[in-house]
Chain A
Amino acid sequence: MSIANLGVFFALLGAVLAALFAGIGSAKGVGMAGQAAAGVCTDDPGKFSKVLILQLLPGTQGIYGLLIAFITMTQIGVMGGDANISVYKGLLYFAACLPMIVVGPVSALNQAKAAVASIAMVNKRPETFGKSMIFPAMVETYAILALLIDILAIFGVSALSI
């Protein structure tokens, strides 16, 4: 295999890492929030539905990572079509995946911390459930921004004829 054929490798590496890191971040985040939720439900099972929603919030980054991986793979032809892309284009796809590779896990873990704190808030004051959702949801903004720039960049790169 010559260097000229490495384009698809770099593009696929970007796609896989986006799914991998965002998935790791979300798995850890949902696990952390799950521990807090279980702690609440041990003494008050009635709060299950409220804390479950908060537990799931750090899980979205994993979905975003999967989406980025899926879009990239369809664009580079790995899931059908011509997978012959240049090294330069492959590196550009890799760069396009970087926001989710970095922001995905970081935002998932930080969102998990906010979710854990919000679960404690709901535990003490169940009537603040609506407000408690806002705090971890604010962290989601940055995961969405990363997702947006990833999608724009991937489609932008695929439109380039290099």
Chain B
Amino acid sequence: MSENYIYAVARIRSKELTLLSGNFVDQLLSAKDEKECLKLLNEKGWGTPEMTSEEIFAQEHAKTWELMEELVEDMSVFDVFRYGNDYHNLKAAVKETCIAGEHPGIFAEDGTIQAETIMKALETKEYTLLPERMQNLAQEAVEQLLHTRDGQLCDCMIDQAALSAIREAGKATGEEILSQYGELTVVSSDIKTAVRAARTGKDRTFLERSLAPCETLDTEELIEASLEGFDAICNYLERTPYSDAVEELKKSAAAFEKWCDNLQIRAIKPQLYNPFGVGPLAAYILARENEIKTVRIILSAKRNDLSEEAIRERVREMYV
């Protein structure tokens, strides 16, 4: 199986040479303004001087997926990265169906199902057009939103299903890196939700509808902790493999977000030395998304005249 990806991994090893390094990020941080950052990025092959930053990000994102489509015959191995977009589109389609008016630009690309198909399924109530994992969920979400008009409840249901699907898809590949990606995605989301719920005084029902099960966290204990308050969440996390998160959570939500992203990047770093299998390809996708996120943070901070020190606190670790 791993021998199917030898050519692809060799190509990726070449592509890794063009990934943004920590040194390049330092250069961006030292640039005096957003314009200078964009010039540096243009020199690195990111977009052209006429393009806006968002156009550059869209182009870089598209480049990654075009490369993967060229290298990998069966793209379903990367479903774990694309399920998020499917469920986002489902949320958007549910609201588009139940709320009057048209809202252009609400759908994400790069899902495993076309947004139009989701819309058609919801409008015609032909839920069988959707994959099996989404059929009941879509029906239930539409009914809930029509009956209760509670958009948050509908979002919670879909988000929880999305997280479970991502985790299951990761596990189903049998690839450690993808399985780990699914698990860490659920863990970071569960912790974020639990903390937010504790701070806004949400009840047990909300937490039960929002937290997705995972292997390394006990959702029951996390719910109990969230109901008790922020300190109880910290105490619980101290007893889990994610004790490092406590310090970051106490700092700020942004610090915790950064910790989550860095955790993912550290988890994929061994793939730099793995010559076989889909792991290095998956790691490359995550590394590209991470560098786009990092550059977006830097450009946005430069646009808002944040100090270099303040930006440095938000910048993610790089893969290479």
A residues apposed to B, CB below 8 Å: 32, 35-40, 42-44, 113, 116-117, 119-120, 123-124
Interface residues of B, dominant DSSP? helix
Cα(A36)–Cα(B6), bound, Å: 5
Cα(A124)–Cα(B272), bound, Å: 11
Cα(A113)–Cα(B3), bound, Å: 9
Contact B14 A36 (CB under 8 A): no
Chain A residues in 8 Å Cβ range of B8: 39
Cα(A82)–Cα(B115), bound, Å: 78
Chain A residues in 8 Å Cβ range of B17: 124
Cα(A104)–Cα(B315), bound, Å: 51
User: Does B13 make an interface contact (CB < 8 A)?
Assistant: yes
Contact B9 A43 (CB under 8 A): no
Chain B residues in 8 Å Cβ range of A120: 9-10, 13, 275
B residues apposed to A, CB below 8 Å: 3, 6-11, 13-17, 275-276
Contact A40 B275 (CB under 8 A): no
Distance to closest chain B CB from A111 (angstroms): 13
Cα(A140)–Cα(B307), bound, Å: 57
Chain B residues in 8 Å Cβ range of A42: 11, 14
Chain B residues in 8 Å Cβ range of A36: 6-7, 9-10, 275
Distance to closest chain A CB from B260 (angstroms): 28
Apart from A113-B275, A119-B275, A124-B13: 5 A-B pairs, beta carbons within 8 A = A36-B7, A36-B275, A39-B9, A40-B10, A113-B276
Cα(A116)–Cα(B14), bound, Å: 14
If A113-B276, A116-B275 touch, does A123 touch B6 (CB 8 Å cutoff)? no
Contact A123 B13 (CB under 8 A): yes
Which partner residue on chain A sits nearest B2 by CB separation? A113
Chain B residues in 8 Å Cβ range of A40: 10, 13-14
Contact A38 B275 (CB under 8 A): no
Contact B3 A37 (CB under 8 A): no
Which partner residue on chain A sits nearest B275 by CB separation? A117
From A32, A39, A119, A123, residue with most partner B Cβ within 10 Å: A39
Which partner residue on chain A sits nearest B280 by CB separation? A120
Distance to closest chain A CB from B9 (angstroms): 7
Cα(A117)–Cα(B273), bound, Å: 8
Which partner residue on chain B sits nearest A37 by CB separation? B10
Contact B7 A38 (CB under 8 A): yes
Distance to closest chain A CB from B42 (angstroms): 21
Chain B residues in 8 Å Cβ range of A44: 14
Contact B275 A39 (CB under 8 A): no
Cα(A82)–Cα(B302), bound, Å: 89
Chain A residues in 8 Å Cβ range of B276: 113, 116
Which partner residue on chain A sits nearest B320 by CB separation? A124
- 22 contacting pairs across A/B (C-beta < 8 A): A32-B3, A32-B6, A35-B6, A36-B7, A36-B9, A38-B7, A39-B9, A39-B11, A39-B14, A40-B14, A42-B14, A43-B14, A43-B15, A44-B14, A113-B275, A116-B6, A116-B10, A119-B275, A123-B10, A123-B13, A124-B13, A124-B16
From B6, B13, B15, residue with most partner A Cβ within 10 Å: B6
From B10, B13, B275, residue with most partner A Cβ within 10 Å: B10
Chain B residues in 8 Å Cβ range of A116: 6, 10, 275-276
Chain A residues in 8 Å Cβ range of B13: 39-40, 120, 123-124
User: Which 4 A-B pairs give the minimum distances between C-beta atoms?
Assistant: A39-B10, A43-B14, A35-B6, A35-B7
Chain B residues in 8 Å Cβ range of A35: 6-7, 10
Chain A residues in 8 Å Cβ range of B6: 32, 35-36, 39, 116
Distance to closest chain B CB from A41 (angstroms): 9
